[in-house]
Structure 1
């Protein structure tokens, strides 16, 4: 058994890990997909940085941070994900980066088509529809088959490309926030390339729980969050553009503070959350010391499998992601098939069992309840969820 798989089952180890975090008493949080917790040491570092910026004000920022420290932090981020520093730029979140990539993609002509699916994030869908109103593009919207399989996902895109030969750009979500389905990004990107389609990847939920190589995936444009599985403060994300494709994304609204050949011109120039950025070196250090995405992913996948394996075949419960390890992660949604109102069932999980979850709407397959264990979650909490599902179904 690989080390990460073995350690994922070690409750004593993960309890020691959880002891590094302050957790407010209350419901069992199974909604860790929104954003992650900072460790106690990261919070302390963040607070020190807030105090430093408040006391030194613009003297430090102008003389040191903008000229040196910020560049070093960007280089550390690039090293973490295995790319060149010149290919990443900080944003406030993945959405901000994705909107910039979509808004400033300059290879569309009136009449060209852009592709989205039912599983994309609503703001990404909105940005792609914006291209219809402002660039004359036609939006093609597809719905994925449910239950999904590796082959069905590829076939859906194969049919879309064949049926709509004017598609030039598509959005693709690595880990879908609605159900937790993991898309076979490398295979889809290769298929898109065969048809001359560029891919903008939404990596918001992937970074930190899935190990990947952007170049190997065949991805040239992407947006990510640092506040989910990496463990950074809120307000931190970044966009990625492969260096050889930088010219295909215009500077954002004629941004002039950086030259056109600098990726930072693809973001709005403004005062960022400097203390949060200053905290990133410690965040990266803690992420690596745990074992990075392979270790985190193994743990949350193990917790996911504890409850999924126990309820997969229960009458009245539908698990929304398959058990193909290529297609799932720690995030997985479920549906009570004998109850129409999933929100009411989520409220019963909370009121009757003290389990906090969230309902996700928008998938063609219908609403579902998203279950996302976190790195401080326990096997006992998964067992409580299993009991609740057995009794509520």
Structure 2
């Protein structure tokens, strides 16, 4: 349990505290894993809860699921999620991932007419870009793609969206990514969403990388529809995502593929039809309790930023390295990215990091600013891991 008399920033530097946290996770004897942005490890406590739930469901079979989970547990778990996220439970539905949640919101949005315009950016997730392209083919709308300037600045990002809103008067719907998966750039969501709303544009927020490591106050941000996952920074098993639609906006969505399980107007009708991973859902009370006991997003986010700052300033100073993540704290979180200036294909450098220095990272491509190497520490990453990365980059850039 974090000490209530100490700030998240103070706890972020307390290695005794984080050694105790790391002890709650399975030991990893492999490479230093700096791809924590893919999905997070489950603690041993969550693994135990998940395994117990698997055995319980396997033993009780349909009686357990129909009589206990469907009638009682599912709603109680959704209420716990609502308390964690600070929104009413009837504005949340479970999905199998953030991508599935976003797919459902995009394809079931009913307010588009042929000739309307929809907006994405080069930094949005590939599946979201693909879904908006599908809207163009299926609904007869015009797809507008915004290319962000590099390096990104707070004012530059706002200017890009303001210019897009002004020059495309038929815009009705846009995607907006809270934390971009390629570079770790944090978008100024509140201002963008406010100005979009003033132009009559609805925003679908991709919060896959923000929930659990950053404040996600949907009401304050003015976000009325969003997709998240619970398997990155919340610490849940794989296969769990979240759909959010503000209660007053549910009428703007059709049941997913005519989902007969729930009536239109019940957000759960947006969940793709099928049997969910019931044991994973049953583990969520343990997941939520551990997340809150650790200090929630405040403590997790502070730790991830502290770990980031152990390698990123050193990397910025290397002549052979270009850091893509801004140093403006408003635009940054625990995820950061860089690239080697002398090569186009970064995968060779990733392979070298692994083979020569035992450090695992991941390449990200697709944005207009070019390919990069993403670095994302995890909850049980150590300062020694980050110093190892900084040392490796110094040697590789000579």
TM norm structure 1? 0.99
> What corresponds to 2:84 in structure 1?
80
Task: From 381, 387, 390, give the equivalent of 1:377.
Answer: 381
Task: From 109, 134, 139, give the equivalent of 2:113.
Answer: 109
Matching of residue 362 in structure 1 with residue 388 in structure 2: no
Paired residue secondary structure (1:334) = strand
> What corresponds to 1:315 in structure 2?
319
Show CA shifts across 1:321-349 (max 9, x none): 11111111111010111222211011111
Matching of residue 65 in structure 1 with residue 65 in structure 2: no
> What corresponds to 1:254 in structure 2?
258
Matching of residue 387 in structure 1 with residue 391 in structure 2: yes
> What corresponds to 1:290 in structure 2?
294
Shift of residue 269 of structure 1?
2.5
> What corresponds to 1:175 in structure 2?
179
Task: From 200, 210, 215, give the equivalent of 2:214.
Answer: 210
Whole-Å separation in 1 of the counterparts to 2:195 and 2:349: 40
Task: From 89, 96, 106, give the equivalent of 1:92.
Answer: 96
Whole-Å separation in 2 of the counterparts to 1:307 and 1:97: 34
> What corresponds to 1:46 in structure 2?
50
Task: From 19, 22, 30, give the equivalent of 2:26.
Answer: 22
Whole-Å separation in 1 of the counterparts to 2:133 and 2:27: 40
Asked if 1 retains the 8 angstrom alpha-carbon contact of 2:344 and 2:371, the reply is no
> What corresponds to 1:223 in structure 2?
227
> What corresponds to 2:203 in structure 1?
199
Whole-Å separation in 2 of the counterparts to 1:172 and 1:374: 25
Shift of residue 295 of structure 1?
0.4
Paired residue secondary structure (2:331) = coil
Shift of residue 2 of structure 1?
6.3
Whole-Å separation in 1 of the counterparts to 2:78 and 2:304: 28
Shift of residue 259 of structure 1?
1.0
Shift of residue 51 of structure 1?
0.4
Show CA shifts across 1:357-378 (max 9, x none): 0000001010000000001001
User: 1:110-189 counterparts in 2 under 5 A?
Assistant: 110-189=114-193
TM norm structure 2? 0.97
Structure 2 gap ranges (5+): none
Shift of residue 305 of structure 1?
1.0
Shift of residue 254 of structure 1?
1.5
Show CA shifts across 1:233-277 (max 9, x none): 000011000001010111111112211121111112211100000
Whole-Å separation in 2 of the counterparts to 1:251 and 1:2: 47
Query: Which aligned runs of 4 or more in structure 1 are off by greater than 6 angstroms?
Result: none
Shift of residue 319 of structure 1?
0.9
Worse-matched range after superposition: 333-342 or 280-289: 333-342
Whole-Å separation in 2 of the counterparts to 1:23 and 1:144: 40
Matching of residue 6 in structure 1 with residue 10 in structure 2: yes
Structure 1 gap ranges (5+): none
Shift of residue 312 of structure 1?
1.2
Paired residue secondary structure (1:21) = coil
Shift of residue 47 of structure 1?
0.4
Whole-Å separation in 1 of the counterparts to 2:20 and 2:89: 34
Whole-Å separation in 1 of the counterparts to 2:258 and 2:100: 16
